[in-house]
Chains A and B, each alone.
Chain A
């Protein structure tokens, strides 16, 4: 056998062996317990966000829309869950061209001159140009934080969707007066979705100078909307990660994609004296367990204890279900939350599964068009601490 043939045989064997060795290692090692030795042990950052005495959350509105079938019919008719939210022709951005044929510019051109003060007039125009106007509701919550010295500070989380419904809810809970009196020091937007964000003019009608916090990732239309609604105060764009706000309160922005071409979600952490961590969310697209794990890795909180949750937990907002949601129901118990106040996009079915699993769900009163007592409805309150 010549040297050349020997060399070629060696190369053929080596080429074959590389594949066998590589695939063998991939198959035998990659899902074995040994792989865990490659994971970096993350040091807990234990960021100090301070401490507060208590938190009270008032559910201004958790009814983002009134009928799932109507909303999903719109989504289906417009082309599915990936369609840009500004194109649906939902209120307030109606251009009269019908479902899936809307545009921010067209819609805004019809109502811009009326924002934020003449919302009744704007709504009449909106009713004439948008699809399923009456199905729009909105999500908004009032957060009252009691400092360790007893002083109270108020914040808004989100500002609903329908101008009409949001204003009705604001008046019902006295939010309009609080805004006029400058009692509410900032508005936090959880994310850019229609049901949390498009009711912004209602807040600005009563306090156009309010400080607004938005998560990084808003699209040009969303950023323009803040200007077009007549905001005159400070606008703070929060980058992904932890942002300390006041002692005992911080926000956290997750850079995540969400349906209807929305990107990024901001949620809130509170450190309540003697109790522990309280997580407050708008929709929690990042997942409540991711939210809790992030807190564990990033911040220091009382007793190292996950005390409570409030908000939409984004499990089955559209009466849908998926086995992966059961993963959450099965796993949530391990985190030991002592008070679970959920609503909105958590889904009634999920809340009932939580109750069946024995989790400490705080039930509501199903008033003001909230549909079920399985979770905290419109006008209900929850206190931590």
Chain B
């Protein structure tokens, strides 16, 4: 039977061409170079295509991420055959697969959202339909349509990988491609649609005057607890979900959910656990802003506006994704020498330090290097765009190009694959839920809570000591 790319990522061996950290550094330099060049070509407000208007560039950037998740995680590279994936030069693979992802991307935006949905369902998906509204300019018609399509993408970029990471492709895990891919695609797209209607459609409904009371809930149900009518409240936790899915998949190796033996219990625990962790992140990152900038005030603009604060939660969350992926893609998920929980903790600490450093560097320099606006709270300042753009390039490099040129892809032997599976199982079996583990768990919980309150206590002073925005 024809084999496509099922298990390709797990069954390939990436062999470093040079020792030590050199391959990681070379890859970083190379991908940052590609990032900067493509940023200039596509996104930069000073560059060629200037798609950072901002929503047009943001929409394409976000959907491109999902295209790659669909191709690799949901369709397992179908219709590309395993032999082609193994034997084709990484550069050729990178170009071909990137082009395919781009063609699907444009087809989805222009064909499905703007063409089908925008013309026959929800007019706000199509700029031309929006321009029929009196007073609306062409610019905002395009921005609003892009925003709506983008909001859908935010949800899909959480649910698409979540079905693979948390639900382990169930109940279609044994199905062959493309049946499996289409089943998961339709399920996650359906769920995305439901979540979109509950979380984002009311936002779009009150975007227009008068509020669209009869087509959407207005004022929206979240107004009281979110302290805003803006849908950014949902953007926040959904972005956190997107980030947490990848933390669970990469640096956490699906721990601690992997400890659960019962398949469906593990899957549900992982799916709802990801949401719970994301909500914890969502509330804490909002609180962190209150601690550093003061309490938000409804109705104001910029840094003190609740809607912007929620959006900024999502922006802060994205800074965690970048170092986590770097650790996994280019540092082979370092460290690996301790037990699984300790490895996970150390990687999380490294990711957190990396996220904070990246946040500071981004806000200090992005206006010079990326042509974005100086400062935190500009309405068109979206660090998510360059961060996701960089992530996209890393996905192309890692998924499509096997980390070329600093790594060489060699298919693993059957023995190596079995050894890998055994090692994974052993790492999980190594976590024994005995009394000592219980004592450690209790002590750890106390330490975690203590660390939280120390952070809360220290954060205002630490923030005050770092001048992130020159002249702030």
* B178 interface residue per 8 A CB criterion: no
* B89 interface residue per 8 A CB criterion: no
CB–CB A331/B378 < 8 A: no
* A25-B452, A321-B207, A323-B207 known; A79+B53 contact, CB < 8 A: yes
CB–CB A12/B375 < 8 A: no
Chain A residues positioned under 8 Å from B53 (CB to CB): 76, 79-82
CB–CB B286/A30 < 8 A: yes
* B432 interface residue per 8 A CB criterion: yes
Chain A residues positioned under 8 Å from B457 (CB to CB): 38
* A25-B448, A290-B297 known; A82+B54 contact, CB < 8 A: yes
Q: How far is the CB of B362 from chain A (nearest CB, A)?
A: 14
A15 contacts which of B276, B301, B342, B379 (Cβ < 8 Å)?
A: B342
Q: List 8 A-B contacts (CB under 8 A).
A: A13-B442, A15-B344, A22-B451, A82-B52, A84-B45, A290-B300, A290-B304, A321-B209
Chain A residues positioned under 8 Å from B356 (CB to CB): none
* A6-B436, A15-B345, A320-B140 known; A82+B45 contact, CB < 8 A: yes
A286 contacts which of B280, B291, B302, B442 (Cβ < 8 Å)?
A: B302
**Which of A46-54, A124-132, A196-204, A253-261 touches B?**
A253-261
A289 contacts which of B295, B300, B430 (Cβ < 8 Å)?
A: B300
Question: How many residues of A are in contact with the other chain, CB < 8 A?
Answer: 81
CB–CB A14/B444 < 8 A: yes
* B431 interface residue per 8 A CB criterion: yes
CB–CB A13/B436 < 8 A: yes
Chain B residues positioned under 8 Å from A11 (CB to CB): 339, 341-342, 440
Question: How many residues of B are in contact with the other chain, CB < 8 A?
Answer: 101
CB–CB A17/B440 < 8 A: yes
CB–CB B228/A327 < 8 A: yes
Question: CA–CA, A30 to B54, complex, Å?
Answer: 31
Chain A residues positioned under 8 Å from B302 (CB to CB): 256, 285-287, 290
Q: How far is the CB of B295 from chain A (nearest CB, A)?
A: 6
* B9 interface residue per 8 A CB criterion: no
* B206 interface residue per 8 A CB criterion: yes
* A255-B471, A257-B373, A322-B230 known; A38+B440 contact, CB < 8 A: no
Chain A residues positioned under 8 Å from B280 (CB to CB): 23-24, 26-27, 30
Which residues of chain A from 302 to 340 have a CB within 8 Å of any chain B CB? 314, 318-324, 326-332
CB–CB B305/A324 < 8 A: yes
Residues of B that sit less than 8 Å from A by CB: 45-47, 50, 52-54, 56, 135-140, 142-143, 203, 206-209, 219-220, 228-232, 256, 276-277, 279-281, 283-284, 286-287, 290-291, 294-295, 297-308, 339-342, 344-345, 348, 367, 371-381, 430-432, 434, 436-453, 456-457, 460, 469, 471-472
- 0 or 1 for each of A6-50: is its CB under 8 Å from B? (1 = yes): 111111111111111111111101110001101110100000000
CB–CB B299/A327 < 8 A: yes
CB–CB A15/B299 < 8 A: no
* A235 interface residue per 8 A CB criterion: no
A21 contacts which of B54, B307, B447 (Cβ < 8 Å)?
A: B447
Q: How far is the CB of B130 from chain A (nearest CB, A)?
A: 11
Question: CA–CA, A84 to B140, complex, Å?
Answer: 19
* A83 interface residue per 8 A CB criterion: yes
In the A-B complex, the 3 residue pairs with the closest CB atoms = A17-B444, A21-B448, A13-B440
